[in-house]
Structure 1
Amino acid sequence: MKKAIYPGTFDPITNGHLDVIKRALGIFDELIIAVAKSDKKNPYYDLQTRLSLVKKATKGLNVKVLDFSCLLVDFAKKQEVYTIIRGLRAVSDFEYELQMHYANASLNKKIETIYLMPSLENAFISSSIVRSIKAHNGDISNLIPKEILKDIM
């Protein structure tokens, strides 16, 4: 069974994330969505809320939703899954993701990273854009999975 890990803070999960998840499931049999505790990033939603939102948004998909607060390579080793999925929206994402891949690979030679791009209609969506639009009472219904819209609002 081919498995991969899709890590992130998912603060909150967006249609861009869901797009990448569905693309990854076209390649892998199972996907572990690893929700990072990420206190350093000072997330808007607490960890339990983010886990709940991800589970609700991915219900019916062959995913396992877990949290982690250690190095991603240590989490991967514990799960015995060494393929990491990352989403790329723009060239600016690539520079950061390339550095992260090299750092992860230097810590564990088994780690491979696969980059997936969301479809064009989701390419601009980020959790920070969703939070900003929401903070200004804008319409986010086309940016997040419909299953979590009531929870976010």
Structure 2
Amino acid sequence: MANPKPDDPLLNPPAPASNHGNNVGRRVPWPSLIGFLGLAVNFALCIHRAEGDRGTVADVTFAYLNLLLLFWCIRQFDQAPHGSAARGRIRVAVWLLATSLTAVFTWKVAALMPLPVAVMAWVMAAATVIGGFYGFFIHEDK
């Protein structure tokens, strides 16, 4: 039996061509597109149900735009090289966006609750924000 050659394509297949910078061979992310379509429909329905209440429209619009920006930042964070300055800046943006969503939702929910329950909602929100800070900035990739 003959010894295989080092350049034998069965033993050493060529590395796949990189598609960085172009969309050749890229698949459509259907689950993400369906999720964003659902988010957009929900946004439109919330605006319709607000019946011109500017405060509600502002809250819903803020949450929608914040979520879109948060998803975009998370994607950028995942694509940024580990240890890069860009990854650090995006990490701060992700934490700030998540913190602002937590604060706005807690504000709206706590306004509907009796005081002891509202205090508990704020305590849980604070724990979430502090836990996110710890996970993103203190614990990092350990």
Same fold (TM over 0.5): no
TM-score, with length taken from structure 1:
0.23
More helix by share: 2
Structure of greater relative contact order (alpha carbons < 8 Å, 6+ residues apart) = 1
